[in-house]
A and B are shown apart, each in its own frame.
Chain A
Amino acid sequence: MRALHAEWTKVRTSPGTVWLLLALGLVIVAVGAIAAAGVGCAAPGCPVDTARISLTGVQVGQAVVAILAVLAMGGEYSNGLIRTTLTALPRRWDVLVAKAAVVVVLVAVTGAVAVPATAAVGRFILTDRGMLRLGEDSLPRAMLGSVLYLLLIAVLSLGVAAATRDSATAIGVVLGLLYVLPIVAQAVDDPEWQERLLRLAPMSAGLSIQATTDLDSLPIGPWPGLGVLAAWAMAAIAIGGGVLLRRDA
């Protein structure tokens, strides 16, 4: 509990936090609106996945979440605060859990505001443009899933930061994991390998939670996909925790 209180104080009083959270919310809504305004009709009847288009902002927002989580851990390494923290709270695992809890709560609160907002804005724009609205039934699942997705990204980033102990390296690793694998998958010609990559990559698997139409054609179902991301996040936090427990700070 003391660990939690300490971490909360750190995050609350660090001047960047508020700006990052504001940026997170803004980016989610703005990119969602731009995507909704820019999306085109691919097939007759415009069967666009309204939910998925409106929630595009999560793809950029996750970078902000990654920063927030990486700085919570990596920032302490860059200014040496980590030694003070671990002197005050020698139970290192508690420190990591407390950091995760604080970051997760902040992201959850911001996501809970921004995700419904972008869904509403996107829906308004798409309806205005006469795009067919499909899969409205699964919209709540897509919205809840998007928030959960951001939380898991936060945990993943925190784990990577604890493992690499350097903010810049950590953010590079996280963004590489998230953005590069889907791009590689796009360039792969072999459909079987492409699907395999899309099932395993944290971003493409995790974002299947946003799909509300054509669920059969997804490389992986919505909840199993989020499960893949959860596995990545758990692996990262386990490795990060291991490094934190064993190494000198």
Chain B
Amino acid sequence: MSGLVRTVRAEWTKFRTVRGWMIGLLAAAGLTVGLGLLPGLQGSCGKQGPGSECRAPVGPDGVEVTDSFSFVNRPLTGDGSLTARVTSLTGRIPTTPDPSLPDGPMTTRAGLAPWAKAGLIIKATTRPGSAYAAVMATGDRGTRMQHNYLYDVAGSPGSVATTGPRWLRLTRAGDTITAAESRDGLQWTEVGAITLPDLPDTVYAGLFVTSPQHAEAISGTLGVSGAAGGPTEATATFDRVTVSGGGPNAPWASTVIGESGSRSAAEAIESNAEGFRVTGSGDIAPAVAGAAGAGTTVTQTLVGTFGGLIVVVALGVVFITTEYRRGLFRTTLSANPRRGQVLAAKSIVIGGASFVAGVVGAAVVVVLGQQLLKANGVYVLPATIGTQLRLIVGTGALLAVAAVLAVGLGVLVRRSAAAVMIAVVFIVFPYLLAMSVLPAGAGGWLLRVAPAAAFAVQQSTPAYPQVANLYTPASGYFPLAPWAGFAVLCGWATLALVVAALVVRRRDA
């Protein structure tokens, strides 16, 4: 063990006494910071005076949410249940822009967003972000029971348009809310039952319609895919609306919660002899970034990691190839004939140095970058303290492992320039390819197996299956879980280092 410590010390002395390498380390941290503060340079939040601050409502779990819908409601006191039949659900979505035409005003066509929602909801207050439970028919995702923004349970598949009208029922018994659905109003199937603690005695119950932001990829310029989209709208008709229990009978009120399209409550909700015709736009879901969301993720501010990555990869390669070039390796190996140990010591030194550079750079970006962006009027999707720590430590670890991978490649290739090129192309190019020319499927696959999978460790906000969006790396979403993606890079680095250790033992220095 003391042998390794001594070797590490020797290697550290080599590293720290080459001025260019220490400058390189500073440059790695500097590039991470400098390039990182570019995304979303200017925004309009808070620039139009008081009230223009971008502030998303916060749900019961402390997560920022979208909460906007058209709501036909009445108070419901104590236990009770609400039943209604959704007889039709239609909508309008933005037309796909023709890239060969100049940008015109946005047009819409008939169509229903897959996650358009129409159904029954019980909500603690009419304030956006308050606790709720809902059962709904959707555009293309079957019947669903959702509550408190994050939770989603699937009922029977099929849409109102294909399988006919759908009966829905929501029952409150104490803290428990049960959702049920039926084709004919006679035979009921339970969709789910959940508990909502802290629900007040009197809640708002009623019918709701909403339809989320639409986003689709368009073939862009030069392999840089763009995204197009806009708000969508859904219209549902409800009949056979009955309330049982729930205190004294109360009249129905029309409310638009949040910023739901441009319609007023009177325009969005019509009542007739049979029931209601409700038009809504928005979503009741966790907030996301990207094409169908809003704002910048902390991940996007860490894009400068690519600059830092190239520098530490070059350092890792040169740290070993210089030994070959100058013949120093013979001296090194005479001093310590255990070649595997020399390689391990080099990896520890360059990995440790890169880790520190990455952590410092990322810490500056994550802490100062967010404040700078907010001051510029850019809405940054918040991340928890734990997530921010993971981003900072993860960025350091990413640079460290990439540098170790570079040491392995340096041993195998022995020529500085070729090894740097192979390492950079191997790590960076798959990411570029996945973001540009490849379709989402192939791109996602590439980001699962290539070393670039490790960038998943920088994902700051989760992707939600119940929120339709283009979850692209450019907006901070990766196909693998953070540490799983990081493990992929570790696998590649281990492979390179093991092969390098075998080679360095067998080959003359």
Q: Interface of A with B (CB < 8 Å)?
A: 16, 35, 38-44, 47-49, 52-53, 56, 59-60, 63-64, 66-67, 70-71, 74-75, 78-79, 166-172, 175-176, 179-180, 182-190, 193, 197-198, 204, 207-208, 210-211, 213-214, 216-219
A183→B431 contact, CB < 8 A: yes
**Does B100 contact A216, Cβ atoms closer than 8 Å?**
yes
Please tell me if the beta carbons of A208 and B221 are within 8 angstroms of each other in the complex.
Answer: yes
New A-B contacts (5) at CB < 8 Å, excluding given A188-B38, A190-B41: A168-B317, A175-B425, A179-B306, A183-B435, A190-B42
Q: State whether the Cβ of B378 lies closer than 8 Å to any Cβ in chain A.
A: yes
CB-based contact B303/A216 at 8 Å: no
Tell which of A166, A176, A193, A217 touches B221, judged by Cβ atoms closer than 8 Å.
Answer: A217
Chain A, Cβ-Cβ closest to B416: A168
Partner of B439, one of A42, A207, A211: A42
Tell me which of B41, B317, B433 contacts A193 (CB under 8 A): B41
Q: A172-B314, A176-B310, A186-B474 are in contact. Are A39 and B35 (CB under 8 A)?
A: no
Partner of A179, one of B31, B429, B439: B429
Within 8 A of A (CB), among B2-22: 20
Complex: A186 Cα to B441 Cα, angstroms: 19
Residues of B with C-beta under 8 A to A75: 417
B424, A204: Cβ atoms under 8 Å?
no
Closest 9 CB pairs of A and B: A40-B439, A189-B40, A167-B417, A168-B416, A172-B314, A42-B219, A187-B303, A186-B474, A38-B442
Minimal Cβ-Cβ distance residue in A for B435: A186
Contact B224 A52 (CB under 8 A): no
Instruction: Give the docked Cα–Cα distance between A246 and B421 (Å).
Output: 29
Among A67, A168, A207, the residue within 8 A (CB) of B222 is A207
Residue of A nearest to B42 (CB): A190
Does A216 lie within 8 Å of B102, measured CB to CB? yes
Instruction: Decide: A182 and B438 in contact? CB cutoff 8 A.
Output: no
Q: Are B421 and A43 in contact (CB under 8 A)?
A: no
> Given A171-B417, A211-B221, A216-B100, is A188 in contact with B310 using a C-beta cutoff of 8 Å?
no
- The distance from the CB of A228 to the nearest CB of chain B, in whole angstroms, is 13
The answer to whether residues A44 and B421 also contact, given A49-B219, A59-B432, A182-B432 and a CB cut-off of 8 A, is no
- Also in contact, A171 and B219, with CB within 8 A (given A42-B225, A184-B304): no
Q: Find chain A residues with CB under 8 A from B225 CB.
A: 42
Asked if A211 and B222 sit within 8 Å, CB to CB, the answer is yes
Q: How far is the CA of A105 from the CA of B301 in the complex (A)?
A: 42
Partner of B224 from the list A41, A67, A170, A182 (CB cut-off 8 Å) is A182
Contact A218 B417 (CB under 8 A): no
Chain B residue nearest to A52 (CB atoms) is B223
Give A110 to B214 CA distance when docked, in angstroms: 46
- Expressed in whole angstroms, the minimum distance between the Cβ of B174 and any Cβ of chain A is 46
- With a cutoff of 8 Å between Cβ atoms, the chain B residues found around residue A172 in the complex are 310-311, 313-314, 420, 424
Q: Are B310 and A78 in contact (CB under 8 A)?
A: no
List A contacts of B221 (CB < 8 A): 198, 208, 211, 214, 217-219
Q: A53: which B residues are within 8 A, CB to CB?
A: 437
B304-323 vs A: 1/0 string, CB under 8 Å? Answer: 10110011011001100100
In the complex, residue of chain A having the shortest beta-carbon distance to the beta carbon of B440 = A40
Supposing A171-B420, A190-B41 touch, asked if A44 and B224 sit within 8 A by C-beta, the answer is no
A40 touching B441 in the complex, CB below 8 Å, given contacts A175-B310, A176-B310, A179-B428: yes
Query: B424 to A179, Cβ gap below 8 A?
Result: yes
* Residues of chain A lying within 8 A (CB to CB) of residue B378: 189
Q: How long is the Cα–Cα vector from A89 to B148 in the complex, in angstroms? A: 77
Q: What is the bound-complex CA distance between A67 and B416, given in angstroms?
A: 10
Query: Which residues of chain A are near B429, meaning CB under 8 Å?
Result: 59-60, 63, 179
Q: How far is the CA of A27 from the CA of B437 in the complex (A)?
A: 16
In the assembled complex, B200 has its CB within 8 A of some CB on chain A: no
Q: Contacts A60-B425, A175-B424 known; A188 to B438 CB distance under 8 Å?
A: no
B96 contacts A by Cβ under 8 Å: yes
Q: How far is the CB of A161 from chain B (nearest CB, A)?
A: 9
**B60 close to A (CB within 8 Å):** no
Among A43, A63, A66, A193, point to the contact of B38 (Cβ < 8 A). Answer: A193
Contacts of A43 in B (CB 8 A): 96, 99, 218-219
Residues of B within 8 A of A189 (CB): 39-40, 43, 296, 300, 378
Cα distance A169–B315 in the bound complex, in angstroms: 9
Interface centre among B217, B221, B420 (most CB of A within 10 A): B221
Nearest Cβ on chain B to A42's Cβ, whole angstroms: 4
Residues on B with C-beta less than 8 A from A70 are: 417
**A74 near B417 (CB under 8 angstroms)?**
yes
**Smallest CB gap from A175: residue in B:** B424
Contact of A169 among B99, B314, B436 (CB under 8 A): B314
CB-defined A-B contacts under 8 Å, sample of 19 = A40-B442, A42-B219, A43-B96, A44-B96, A167-B416, A167-B417, A168-B419, A172-B420, A176-B310, A179-B310, A182-B224, A188-B39, A198-B222, A204-B224, A207-B222, A210-B222, A213-B100, A217-B99, A219-B222
What's the least CB distance linking B362 to chain A, in Å?
A: 15
Residues A39 and B438 in contact, CB atoms below 8 Å apart: yes
